[in-house]
Amino acid sequence: MNNLTTDRRSFLKSGAILGGGLLISFVIPPKLRGLLASDTESAAVLVPNAFLKVNADNTINIFLAHSEMGQGIWTSLSMLIADELDANLKDIRVEHAPAAPEYKHTIVDFQITGASTTTYSEFDRYRYAGATARWLLVAAAAKKMGVGFSDCRTENGFVIAGGKRIPYGELVGPAAKLTPPAKIALKKPEEWKYIGHNIRRLDGLPKVNGTAVFGIDVKGDDLLIATVVHSQVIGSKIDSYDDSEAKKVPGIVAVLQVPTGIAVLARDYYTANKAKKLLKINWSKSDYETFSSQDLTESSKLLVEADGMPAVKKGNVDLAGFKAWKTVESTYTFPYLTHVPMEPLNATVKISSDKKSCEIWTGTQLPGNEQAVAAKILGISPGQVKIHTTFLGGGFGRRVNPQSDWVTEAVEIAKASGRFIKMIWAREDDIKGQYYRPQYVHKVKVALNEKGLPEVWHHNLAGQAIYQEHGWVFNVKNGIDQSSVEGMADSQYLDAIPNVFMGVHTTKSPVSVLWLRSVGHTHTAFVMETMIDQLAQVAGKDAVEYRRLLLSESPRSLAVLNLAAEKSGWGKPLPEGHYQGVAVQASFKSYVAQVVEVSLDQANNIIVHKVTCAIDCGLNVNPENIKSQMESGIVFGLSMAKYGEVTITRGRVDQNNFYDYKIVRMNETPVMDVYLVPYTGQEMGGVGETAVPPLAPALANALFKATGRRFHSLPLMNQFINTTKS
């Protein structure tokens, strides 16, 4: 491991140690207890900690500190509790926890779903939560039956001793009066009934019959729909507006100004949207009317000609002084990207009539932040703001905004109108609404020695600093934003390269930025893995063989590389006109390799036939779900590689809707074959984001074989190669 750049990893590691059961809050403050209990509940209930509740009718409520946005934690976190509690999955009712300190992340000091951390960061806390409840139920049963604690065993929601079986529900009253010991032993892996097994999604049923409630589905008496007109030019504000035509639309309840635009309220979206289009607004001149994303790319290209602030510096990085066998040099450009979750951003806000409390329903990855922001706007304490986290119709990073942009706007509308409102953004508001993955430019120069191996790696990049711009300084190390360099500064290839310089130029732009699924790896993996591929070619070596040479000290990367190569039939004959490309990337503490098989049809359309994917994430908690997530990341990565691009011209975002911000459709989807490295005690890693990074470089590497051209920029649709079958 490269010891120069382990800051983030050591941060995560120390955090993980803290998470080892020590942070569990086993004391439930009375207020939270109120939030967890339903109104109609009888007194007999066992609430051993903030994460579950055992009811007298044998049902068990599980409270998720993280948000379900498709990644499958509704199921995996429940499995952790169910295994330790010996619960029957059919008795389990899952819900999102409220915003409360008890649900702070075990690694960072606030409540968040992100960085593919959920399952491993909760692995101990949720198991202890279940084990504690089990201890209390067993102790209560032993007392009731007059037997010893160790005479009892548990199974499927029953405590069993001798010939007697008592359902958990009958024990909740007495169990609630007991105090658990400080230390409770967890089950051994061979005792797991759920963990490590394929468990079907617990949120499957409501998602196939239309009953799953997303933020946009929230209902209520007297609920009004709010749509908003936003400025089309970045930085432009409202000078004045004329709503006389808009107000003539039958059914319009109110038109009002909020800091971010003009809101229109009606009983239904159609009416609000119709009136919105009739507003006449005079927008102020903006300083950014001359801003274009292309200009930012060009100025960034100039920046990367010089060394930036060092992120990695080892050995002698003076390329001029090195007598190289060969040198390879490339410049890479990446556009702004947007997340386009299928559910447009929305929030429902109800302020109490005395204005002293507020309820918010929304799909968010950051409930505590939404709570704090709403409280500030309303001049009340955060405790008076109740956040109901609904299902998220996709997140991909967009629903984890420290600026709480869409919740802020909804709260402002509710405050200004004094009404119970559900604000819904149009797809155009989402696509033009900024908070994009930043643009980046990289320049890499590599000197190879006579063996064809890299001797000097000289690398500069320019881009906006996501964490810095949001004030999340815990991911800024010595002035280097980790979102800019993760996946390159900690690349395992660097262990095999004696002389390395990686420098960062942090750019500024009027465009606000945000993390997008796999964050820095969306660009760094592409640069590293296409450059390594190019070096292999220059060295006259096979792409897999060359990587094996460089990764000899990185066993987990090597293992996934070998697994993907073997399963894809790497090096074996392919159908005529088919070509394979490979990439491997460690991200979020896991290791993923992919082999992409492509061909080009007569019209030069890219056909992606197959992606073979191997992952090592340590323990495979719910193997089938990991496969789902790999498929998801592959399709996400393919959309990014082929089409992903937001451009800005004269201060205006050029894209509008799915017709010009395209994502992959079924007819472009390859066959995906996923293999999991078996668990033999490896450290656990993340899953949700980890399949995204290798896809684009593996595809570009396959296209090199197909076309003889190196692709140094994304998206591919701009590069004289057709990306769609039509």
Partner 1 sequence: MIKLTVNKQMYQLDVDPQMPMLWVLRDVLGLTGTKFGCAVAQCGACTIHLNGEAVRSCVTRAERANGQHITTIEGLSKDSSHPLQKAWLEFDVPQCGYCQSGQIMTAAVLLREIPDPTDADIDDAMSGNLCRCGTYQRIKKAIHRAAGLQKEGVGHE
Q: What DSSP letter does each residue of 315-334 carry, written as one string?
A: S---GGGS--SEEEEEEEEE
Distance, CA of 10 to chain centre: 21
Beta bridge partner(s), residue 586: 591
Nearer to partner 1, 522 or 625 (CB): 625
Q: Give 352-376 as a 3 state SS string.
A: CCCCCCEEEEECCCCHHHHHHHHHH
CB of residue 425 to partner 1, shortest distance in Å: 10
CB of residue 212 to partner 1, shortest distance in Å: 5
Alpha carbons 72 and 169: distance in angstroms, whole number: 28
Alpha carbons 44 and 177: distance in angstroms, whole number: 11
Nearer to partner 1, 373 or 676 (CB): 676
Nearer to partner 1, 212 or 721 (CB): 212
CB of residue 338 to partner 1, shortest distance in Å: 11
Nearer to partner 1, 245 or 289 (CB): 245
Report, in angstroms and rounded to the nearest whole number, the Rg of the chain calculated over CA atoms. 27
CB of residue 162 to partner 1, shortest distance in Å: 39
Q: How many CA atoms lie within 13 A of 288 on its CB side?
A: 20
What is the DSSP pairing of strand 652-653 with strand 261-266? unpaired
In single-letter form, the type of residue at position 356 comes to K
How many other CB atoms are there within 10 angstroms of residue 166's CB atom?
18
Nearer to partner 1, 317 or 426 (CB): 426
Q: Please give the helix or strand (H or E) that residue 302 lies within, else none.
A: helix 293-303
The token duo for 472 is 């999340």
CB of residue 663 to partner 1, shortest distance in Å: 6
Distance, CA of 623 to chain centre: 19
Q: Are 594 and 626 in contact (CB under 8 A)?
A: no
CB of residue 314 to partner 1, shortest distance in Å: 38
Distance, CA of 277 to chain centre: 34
The token duo for 438 is 């930043």
Q: Are 268 and 277 in contact (CB under 8 A)?
A: no
CB of residue 467 to partner 1, shortest distance in Å: 25
Nearer to partner 1, 271 or 682 (CB): 271
Alpha carbons 406 and 310: distance in angstroms, whole number: 36
- List interacting residues with partner 1 (CB under 8 A): 69-72, 200-201, 203-214, 216-217, 219, 225, 250-251, 267-271, 340-344, 391-396, 424, 426-427, 624-625, 628, 631-636, 639, 657-659, 663-667, 669, 671-672
CB of residue 191 to partner 1, shortest distance in Å: 25
Nearer to partner 1, 491 or 629 (CB): 629
Nearer to partner 1, 226 or 303 (CB): 226
CA distances from 38 to 11, 32, 142, 679 (A): 39, 12, 29, 40
CB of residue 521 to partner 1, shortest distance in Å: 17
CB of residue 218 to partner 1, shortest distance in Å: 9
Nearer to partner 1, 116 or 506 (CB): 116
Alpha carbons 455 and 448: distance in angstroms, whole number: 5
Nearer to partner 1, 429 or 469 (CB): 429
Closest-CA residue to 206 (of 79, 60, 393): 393
What is the C-alpha end-to-end distance of the chain, expressed in Å? 47
The token duo for 588 is 């979020």
CB of residue 206 to partner 1, shortest distance in Å: 8
% helix, strand, coil for the chain, step of 5:
35, 25, 40
CB of residue 326 to partner 1, shortest distance in Å: 39
Q: Are 698 and 594 in contact (CB under 8 A)?
A: yes
CB of residue 390 to partner 1, shortest distance in Å: 11
Alpha carbons 697 and 577: distance in angstroms, whole number: 20
Alpha carbons 373 and 409: distance in angstroms, whole number: 11
CB of residue 622 to partner 1, shortest distance in Å: 10
Angle between helix 543-550 and 521-539 (nearest 10): 110
Nearer to partner 1, 227 or 475 (CB): 227
Q: Please give the helix or strand (H or E) that residue 13 lies within, else none.
A: helix 7-18
Nearer to partner 1, 70 or 686 (CB): 70
Which residue bears the tokens 């990695």? 312
Nearer to partner 1, 72 or 335 (CB): 72
Alpha carbons 242 and 254: distance in angstroms, whole number: 13
Closest-CA residue to 637 (of 692, 592, 582, 717): 692
CB of residue 132 to partner 1, shortest distance in Å: 30
Nearer to partner 1, 84 or 631 (CB): 631
